[in-house]
Structure 1
Amino acid sequence: MSENPERSVIVERTSSGQFVATNARGGSISFGTSSDDGQGTGFTPVELFLAAIGGCTAVDVDIATGRHAEPTRFSVTVAGDKVSDDLGNRMTNLKVEFAVAFPDGEEAERARAILPRAVKASHDRLCTVSRTVETGTPVTTTITDA
Protein backbone atom coordinates (compact mmCIF):
# COMPACT_ATOMS: atom_id res chain seq x y z
CA MET A 1 0.00 0.00 0.00
CA SER A 2 1.27 3.50 -0.74
CA GLU A 3 2.33 5.82 2.10
CA ASN A 4 -0.50 8.26 1.43
CA PRO A 5 -3.38 6.33 -0.14
CA GLU A 6 -5.83 9.25 -0.11
CA ARG A 7 -6.53 10.91 -3.46
CA SER A 8 -8.65 14.04 -3.77
CA VAL A 9 -9.81 16.80 -6.04
CA ILE A 10 -11.65 20.01 -5.29
CA VAL A 11 -14.60 20.87 -7.52
CA GLU A 12 -15.61 24.53 -7.62
CA ARG A 13 -18.47 26.23 -9.44
CA THR A 14 -17.27 28.80 -11.98
CA SER A 15 -20.68 29.79 -13.39
CA SER A 16 -24.16 28.36 -13.79
CA GLY A 17 -23.73 24.66 -14.59
CA GLN A 18 -19.94 25.01 -15.06
CA PHE A 19 -17.22 23.71 -12.76
CA VAL A 20 -13.49 23.21 -12.50
CA ALA A 21 -11.82 20.27 -10.74
CA THR A 22 -8.34 20.88 -9.34
CA ASN A 23 -5.97 18.23 -8.06
CA ALA A 24 -3.38 18.53 -5.30
CA ARG A 25 -0.63 19.11 -7.89
CA GLY A 26 -2.43 22.13 -9.36
CA GLY A 27 -3.78 20.49 -12.51
CA SER A 28 -7.33 21.38 -13.49
CA ILE A 29 -10.07 20.40 -15.88
CA SER A 30 -13.28 22.28 -16.67
CA PHE A 31 -16.61 20.55 -17.12
CA GLY A 32 -20.30 21.11 -16.73
CA THR A 33 -23.77 20.40 -17.92
CA SER A 34 -24.34 20.01 -21.62
CA SER A 35 -26.52 22.60 -23.27
CA ASP A 36 -30.07 21.64 -24.20
CA ASP A 37 -29.32 22.26 -27.88
CA GLY A 38 -26.25 19.99 -27.77
CA GLN A 39 -23.96 22.80 -28.93
CA GLY A 40 -21.53 22.80 -26.02
CA THR A 41 -18.21 21.01 -26.53
CA GLY A 42 -17.18 20.71 -22.88
CA PHE A 43 -17.19 17.44 -21.02
CA THR A 44 -20.12 16.42 -18.85
CA PRO A 45 -19.50 14.53 -15.58
CA VAL A 46 -20.63 11.28 -17.26
CA GLU A 47 -18.14 11.81 -20.08
CA LEU A 48 -15.40 12.46 -17.51
CA PHE A 49 -16.39 9.17 -15.84
CA LEU A 50 -16.02 7.34 -19.15
CA ALA A 51 -12.72 9.12 -19.80
CA ALA A 52 -11.48 8.09 -16.35
CA ILE A 53 -12.17 4.43 -17.11
CA GLY A 54 -10.51 4.68 -20.52
CA GLY A 55 -7.60 6.74 -19.28
CA CYS A 56 -6.85 4.46 -16.36
CA THR A 57 -6.74 1.30 -18.43
CA ALA A 58 -4.92 3.07 -21.30
CA VAL A 59 -2.11 4.06 -18.93
CA ASP A 60 -1.75 0.48 -17.68
CA VAL A 61 -1.66 -0.98 -21.18
CA ASP A 62 0.65 1.72 -22.55
CA ILE A 63 3.19 1.10 -19.77
CA ALA A 64 3.21 -2.64 -20.45
CA THR A 65 3.37 -2.51 -24.25
CA GLY A 66 5.44 0.68 -24.51
CA ARG A 67 8.39 -1.10 -22.90
CA HIS A 68 8.70 -3.01 -26.16
CA ALA A 69 7.58 -0.69 -28.96
CA GLU A 70 6.07 2.72 -29.60
CA PRO A 71 2.55 2.24 -31.01
CA THR A 72 1.58 3.74 -34.35
CA ARG A 73 -2.02 3.92 -33.11
CA PHE A 74 -3.37 3.79 -29.58
CA SER A 75 -7.05 4.54 -29.13
CA VAL A 76 -9.46 3.50 -26.39
CA THR A 77 -13.21 3.94 -26.86
CA VAL A 78 -15.41 3.76 -23.77
CA ALA A 79 -19.17 3.67 -24.17
CA GLY A 80 -22.24 2.80 -22.18
CA ASP A 81 -25.93 3.47 -21.83
CA LYS A 82 -27.20 6.19 -19.51
CA VAL A 83 -30.43 4.97 -17.95
CA SER A 84 -32.91 6.32 -15.46
CA ASP A 85 -35.03 3.71 -13.73
CA ASP A 86 -36.17 2.67 -10.25
CA LEU A 87 -32.49 2.52 -9.19
CA GLY A 88 -31.94 6.14 -10.28
CA ASN A 89 -29.67 7.61 -12.92
CA ARG A 90 -26.71 5.38 -13.79
CA MET A 91 -24.59 3.93 -16.56
CA THR A 92 -25.02 0.37 -17.78
CA ASN A 93 -23.44 -1.81 -20.46
CA LEU A 94 -20.02 -0.21 -20.06
CA LYS A 95 -17.64 -1.29 -22.82
CA VAL A 96 -13.94 -0.54 -23.29
CA GLU A 97 -12.50 -1.13 -26.76
CA PHE A 98 -8.80 -0.91 -27.58
CA ALA A 99 -7.50 -0.20 -31.09
CA VAL A 100 -3.73 -0.50 -30.90
CA ALA A 101 -1.25 -0.93 -33.75
CA PHE A 102 2.51 -1.31 -33.75
CA PRO A 103 5.06 -0.96 -36.55
CA ASP A 104 6.92 -3.93 -38.00
CA GLY A 105 9.80 -5.43 -36.09
CA GLU A 106 10.75 -7.83 -33.36
CA GLU A 107 10.05 -5.39 -30.51
CA ALA A 108 6.63 -4.61 -31.96
CA GLU A 109 5.86 -8.33 -32.15
CA ARG A 110 6.55 -8.59 -28.42
CA ALA A 111 4.27 -5.62 -27.75
CA ARG A 112 1.52 -7.18 -29.89
CA ALA A 113 1.95 -10.50 -28.08
CA ILE A 114 1.51 -9.01 -24.60
CA LEU A 115 -1.33 -6.63 -25.54
CA PRO A 116 -4.14 -9.09 -24.63
CA ARG A 117 -2.49 -9.93 -21.28
CA ALA A 118 -1.94 -6.24 -20.54
CA VAL A 119 -5.60 -5.42 -21.26
CA LYS A 120 -6.75 -8.34 -19.10
CA ALA A 121 -4.42 -7.42 -16.22
CA SER A 122 -5.65 -3.83 -16.30
CA HIS A 123 -9.27 -4.95 -16.25
CA ASP A 124 -8.85 -7.71 -13.67
CA ARG A 125 -6.62 -5.97 -11.11
CA LEU A 126 -4.72 -2.82 -12.10
CA CYS A 127 -7.14 -0.09 -13.20
CA THR A 128 -8.32 1.56 -9.98
CA VAL A 129 -11.24 3.29 -11.71
CA SER A 130 -12.89 0.29 -13.36
CA ARG A 131 -12.03 -1.99 -10.42
CA THR A 132 -13.83 0.46 -8.10
CA VAL A 133 -16.88 0.46 -10.38
CA GLU A 134 -16.97 -3.32 -10.68
CA THR A 135 -16.43 -4.10 -7.00
CA GLY A 136 -18.73 -1.31 -5.83
CA THR A 137 -17.77 1.25 -3.22
CA PRO A 138 -20.12 3.29 -1.04
CA VAL A 139 -20.05 7.05 -1.56
CA THR A 140 -20.60 9.21 1.50
CA THR A 141 -21.81 12.79 1.14
CA THR A 142 -21.76 15.48 3.83
CA ILE A 143 -22.34 19.21 4.11
CA THR A 144 -19.84 21.45 5.89
CA ASP A 145 -20.04 25.11 6.75
CA ALA A 146 -18.67 27.25 3.94
Structure 2
Amino acid sequence: MTDNSLRSVTVERTSTGHFVATNARGGSVSFGTGAAGDTEFTPVELLLAALGGCTAVDVDIATTRHAEPTSFTVAVRGTKVDDDLGNRLTDLAVTFHVAFPDGEGAERARAILPRAVRTSHDRLCTVSRTVETGTPVTATIADA
Protein backbone atom coordinates (compact mmCIF):
# COMPACT_ATOMS: atom_id res chain seq x y z
CA MET A 1 0.00 0.00 0.00
CA THR A 2 1.36 3.41 -0.92
CA ASP A 3 0.80 6.63 0.98
CA ASN A 4 -1.58 7.70 -1.81
CA SER A 5 -3.81 4.65 -1.40
CA LEU A 6 -4.60 4.90 2.32
CA ARG A 7 -7.83 6.67 3.24
CA SER A 8 -8.77 7.39 6.84
CA VAL A 9 -10.92 9.48 9.13
CA THR A 10 -11.03 9.83 12.89
CA VAL A 11 -14.40 9.84 14.64
CA GLU A 12 -14.61 11.63 17.97
CA ARG A 13 -17.56 11.73 20.36
CA THR A 14 -18.55 15.31 21.19
CA SER A 15 -21.55 14.53 23.43
CA THR A 16 -24.14 11.81 23.88
CA GLY A 17 -25.13 10.64 20.42
CA HIS A 18 -23.06 13.33 18.63
CA PHE A 19 -19.78 12.84 16.79
CA VAL A 20 -17.35 14.60 14.47
CA ALA A 21 -15.41 12.83 11.72
CA THR A 22 -12.15 14.52 10.72
CA ASN A 23 -10.07 13.67 7.67
CA ALA A 24 -6.30 13.87 7.28
CA ARG A 25 -6.62 17.28 5.56
CA GLY A 26 -8.44 18.78 8.56
CA GLY A 27 -11.95 18.78 7.12
CA SER A 28 -14.74 17.70 9.42
CA VAL A 29 -18.39 16.72 9.41
CA SER A 30 -20.64 16.31 12.42
CA PHE A 31 -23.22 13.56 12.68
CA GLY A 32 -25.43 11.93 15.23
CA THR A 33 -28.17 9.48 16.00
CA GLY A 34 -30.96 11.31 14.20
CA ALA A 35 -32.87 11.85 17.43
CA ALA A 36 -35.98 14.03 17.28
CA GLY A 37 -35.04 17.65 16.73
CA ASP A 38 -31.52 16.89 15.48
CA THR A 39 -30.68 18.03 11.96
CA GLU A 40 -27.29 16.31 11.80
CA PHE A 41 -26.83 13.49 9.35
CA THR A 42 -26.96 9.94 10.67
CA PRO A 43 -24.25 7.44 9.69
CA VAL A 44 -26.69 5.82 7.23
CA GLU A 45 -27.40 9.20 5.61
CA LEU A 46 -23.66 9.79 5.33
CA LEU A 47 -23.33 6.43 3.56
CA LEU A 48 -26.07 7.45 1.12
CA ALA A 49 -24.36 10.83 0.61
CA ALA A 50 -21.06 9.04 -0.05
CA LEU A 51 -22.70 6.78 -2.64
CA GLY A 52 -24.24 9.70 -4.48
CA GLY A 53 -21.33 12.04 -3.96
CA CYS A 54 -18.72 9.63 -5.28
CA THR A 55 -20.52 9.12 -8.57
CA ALA A 56 -21.51 12.80 -8.74
CA VAL A 57 -17.85 13.84 -8.61
CA ASP A 58 -16.95 11.48 -11.46
CA VAL A 59 -19.90 12.57 -13.60
CA ASP A 60 -19.30 16.25 -12.88
CA ILE A 61 -15.68 16.03 -13.99
CA ALA A 62 -16.61 14.18 -17.20
CA THR A 63 -19.51 16.38 -18.26
CA THR A 64 -18.37 19.86 -17.22
CA ARG A 65 -15.40 19.58 -19.57
CA HIS A 66 -18.02 20.31 -22.23
CA ALA A 67 -20.66 22.46 -20.54
CA GLU A 68 -21.68 23.83 -17.17
CA PRO A 69 -24.98 22.22 -16.05
CA THR A 70 -28.00 24.40 -15.34
CA SER A 71 -28.98 21.88 -12.65
CA PHE A 72 -27.23 18.89 -11.15
CA THR A 73 -28.90 16.87 -8.39
CA VAL A 74 -28.35 13.30 -7.31
CA ALA A 75 -31.08 11.53 -5.33
CA VAL A 76 -29.96 8.51 -3.30
CA ARG A 77 -32.25 6.14 -1.44
CA GLY A 78 -32.23 2.79 0.28
CA THR A 79 -34.59 0.74 2.40
CA LYS A 80 -33.49 -0.14 5.93
CA VAL A 81 -34.29 -3.73 6.86
CA ASP A 82 -33.68 -5.87 9.92
CA ASP A 83 -33.68 -9.56 9.05
CA ASP A 84 -31.59 -12.68 9.66
CA LEU A 85 -28.55 -10.79 8.32
CA GLY A 86 -29.04 -7.91 10.78
CA ASN A 87 -29.65 -4.22 10.12
CA ARG A 88 -28.72 -3.17 6.59
CA LEU A 89 -29.86 -1.23 3.56
CA THR A 90 -31.40 -2.85 0.50
CA ASP A 91 -32.63 -1.48 -2.81
CA LEU A 92 -29.91 1.17 -3.00
CA ALA A 93 -30.54 3.54 -5.90
CA VAL A 94 -28.65 6.57 -7.20
CA THR A 95 -30.66 8.74 -9.60
CA PHE A 96 -29.18 11.67 -11.53
CA HIS A 97 -31.23 14.74 -12.48
CA VAL A 98 -28.94 16.78 -14.74
CA ALA A 99 -29.77 19.50 -17.26
CA PHE A 100 -27.53 21.46 -19.60
CA PRO A 101 -28.22 24.68 -21.51
CA ASP A 102 -28.50 24.80 -25.29
CA GLY A 103 -25.33 24.69 -27.33
CA GLU A 104 -22.77 22.39 -28.91
CA GLY A 105 -20.82 21.73 -25.71
CA ALA A 106 -24.03 21.01 -23.88
CA GLU A 107 -25.05 18.50 -26.58
CA ARG A 108 -21.75 16.69 -26.02
CA ALA A 109 -22.24 16.77 -22.23
CA ARG A 110 -25.74 15.31 -22.61
CA ALA A 111 -24.42 12.62 -24.94
CA ILE A 112 -21.70 11.45 -22.56
CA LEU A 113 -23.82 11.67 -19.39
CA PRO A 114 -25.13 8.07 -19.55
CA ARG A 115 -21.64 6.68 -20.18
CA ALA A 116 -20.17 8.81 -17.39
CA VAL A 117 -22.77 7.51 -14.90
CA ARG A 118 -22.25 3.91 -16.02
CA THR A 119 -18.43 4.13 -15.95
CA SER A 120 -18.46 5.68 -12.49
CA HIS A 121 -20.78 2.98 -11.19
CA ASP A 122 -19.00 0.07 -12.91
CA ARG A 123 -15.36 1.09 -12.35
CA LEU A 124 -14.53 4.46 -10.84
CA CYS A 125 -16.60 5.12 -7.72
CA THR A 126 -14.72 3.59 -4.80
CA VAL A 127 -17.75 3.85 -2.53
CA SER A 128 -20.27 1.96 -4.66
CA ARG A 129 -17.61 -0.52 -5.82
CA THR A 130 -16.76 -1.26 -2.17
CA VAL A 131 -20.42 -1.73 -1.22
CA GLU A 132 -21.17 -3.93 -4.21
CA THR A 133 -18.13 -6.17 -3.81
CA GLY A 134 -18.94 -6.71 -0.14
CA THR A 135 -15.58 -5.79 1.37
CA PRO A 136 -15.18 -7.21 4.89
CA VAL A 137 -14.99 -4.75 7.79
CA THR A 138 -13.05 -5.46 10.96
CA ALA A 139 -13.79 -3.81 14.30
CA THR A 140 -11.18 -3.99 17.05
CA ILE A 141 -10.40 -2.37 20.36
CA ALA A 142 -6.95 -0.77 20.64
CA ASP A 143 -4.72 -2.18 23.37
CA ALA A 144 -7.13 -5.02 24.07
2: CA distance between counterparts of 1:4 and 1:112?
33
Identity value in percent: 77
Q: Secondary structure at the match of 1:12?
A: strand
Q: Gaps spanning 5+ residues in structure 2: where?
A: none
TM-superposed CA distance for 1:3, in Å, is 4.9
Equivalences, count: 144
State the one-letter code of the partner of 2:52: G
* 1:125 corresponding residue in structure 2: 123
Cα shift readout 1:92-135 (whole Å, capped 9, x = no counterpart): 00000000000000000000000000000001000000000001
1: CA distance between counterparts of 2:37 and 2:23?
28
Structure 1 runs (4+) deviating above 4 angstroms are none
TM-score, scaled to structure 2? 0.96
* 1:9 corresponding residue in structure 2: 9
Q: Secondary structure at the match of 2:118?
A: helix
Structure 1 vs Structure 2 CA RMSD:
1.4
1: CA distance between counterparts of 2:77 and 2:83?
19
CA separation of 1:60 and 1:92: change in aligned 2, threshold 3 A: same
CA separation of 1:17 and 1:142: change in aligned 2, threshold 3 A: same
2: CA distance between counterparts of 1:141 and 1:2?
23
2: CA distance between counterparts of 1:64 and 1:112?
11
TM-score, scaled to structure 1? 0.95
